[in-house]
Amino acid sequence: MTTATDNLPAVQANGALAIQADQTMWTAEQRHVLAQLGVAEDCPNAVLAGYLHLCQRRGLDPFLKQVYLIGRRQRQQDNSYRTVYTPQTGIDGYRVLAQRAAHRAGVKYGYEDTIWFAPDGSKHEVWLWNDRPPAAAKITVVVNGQRFSGVANFASYADTDRDGKPKNRWKTDPAGMTAKCAEAQALRKAFPEDLGDLYTHEEMEHLVDDEEVSQAPPQTVREAAQAKAGASATVMVSKEKRHLLARKMDELGVTDKLGYLHLVHPDHTFESSGDLTAAQAEQVLAALHRGDHLQPVDGGGEPDEAQAAAGQPEAAKLSKSKAAEVNTWLTEAGIDKDARFAWLAEQGIAQVSSTSDLTPEQATEAIIRLTPLTAQRREDLRQRIINVWTDMDGTPEQLSAVFCREMKVPDVASASNSKYATFLKKLADDKVKPGERLHQDEPEF
């Protein structure tokens, strides 16, 4: 059995490409190297900022190819194309995170020999056939004697062209690529807290077609995803967006979640939220933000009819409170005042010089798009605080108490992202240090 070492690669601490804990945007030199690695020069600043936060949070180095920013062109309803960027971890980054998790937990882990399976079910420790791929690969990770196995079927993960033939690395190294997917599964089982919400580039390559995105799925979305003949690829809802929808429904008291999906999309049948397309999920989220279908409508629509009869158009001016809400969301998402209007333009929402110039619909759209960015930034800041605190030999119990005292909040959950960022800067400036003796019942950060 091969044993993992304790030499833990990390984001560089020194040098021109070093990513610093308090850095908020890529430097010119870093940006130049990222462009050489394939990140488009016209990539929006908001996307780049989110990518930086991910690298800081996970301690991954894009310059060592431990994490990637993948851009895919998606066709829109007007037949134009828009590039959608998704951060993905490479298998090397996965191994780094697993090593750090094991080191932090004080455990040893290793691998059993890889097993490849032929179509007839026979097992092979080495795959010798270059003219055909294996049917599957199995990798087992052993943590302190406990075994965690991952099995990846070639047909389930292979990236194929329009004719169904493997392409790129799946064509030239099918055994290696299948083994990487199996290894990712095994590591995710072994270290679920650190890897449970991350997937590798090798696992995700097959999910989205770079060019064709269906805008008119048939009545049953599951049937559309399974259709073969002449069907263009459909972009399905992401795991992150499904969790966001569930959280939003919980916040608004929606108990019948499937029922709500049917209210928003009455012409479709859903067995779970996983049957939503990406576009349908965005429509559901927009409906939740607008409050659609959340309360019974009294009066049969008479207010709207009365307003129309009086010749009064629907108000289109944004209220001061709504403009302030948009500004708060922009701040919580980490978009500086100097960049927020550029962000609104880059997102195709509006070209304005003040948030008060937005229409109510534009403000709602901005909040919808800022919601996942805010949640991601919050988790990024939280993880970076924990990493810095751990490096200072502090405990989670100490961290929670010190954070509440320094930020003057009753509990960690009630703190804003701005409070998180301020506390992180205090840590970076050595203005806050561990060392206090606290009560044993102190909650963790």
State how far the alpha carbon of 266 is from the alpha carbons of 17, 159, 236, 261, 280, in Å. 52, 34, 18, 8, 12
pLDDT (average), residues 318-333? 86
pLDDT digits (tens, 9 = 90+) for 209-259: 443 333 233 333 333 344 433 333 456 777 667 777 887 787 777 877 877
pLDDT digits (tens, 9 = 90+) for 264-300: 887 777 777 878 887 788 888 878 877 777 754 333 4
pLDDT tier for residue 138 given thresholds of 50, 70 and 90: very high
pLDDT tier for residue 79 given thresholds of 50, 70 and 90: low
- Non-local (6+) Cβ contacts of 258 within 8 A are 270, 272, 273
**Residue 398 half-sphere exposure, CB side, CA atoms within 13 Å?**
14
Both tokens of 7, joined, read 């030499």
Beta pairing partners, 83: 73
pLDDT (average), residues 95-106? 88
Give dist(CA 354, CA 245) in Å, integer. 29
How many Cβ atoms from other residues are within 10 Å of residue 27's Cβ? Answer: 14
The answer to whether the pTM exceeds 0.75 is no
Give dist(CA 373, CA 51) in Å, integer. 11
Please provide the size of the chain in residues.
445
Give dist(CA 433, CA 445) in Å, integer. 15
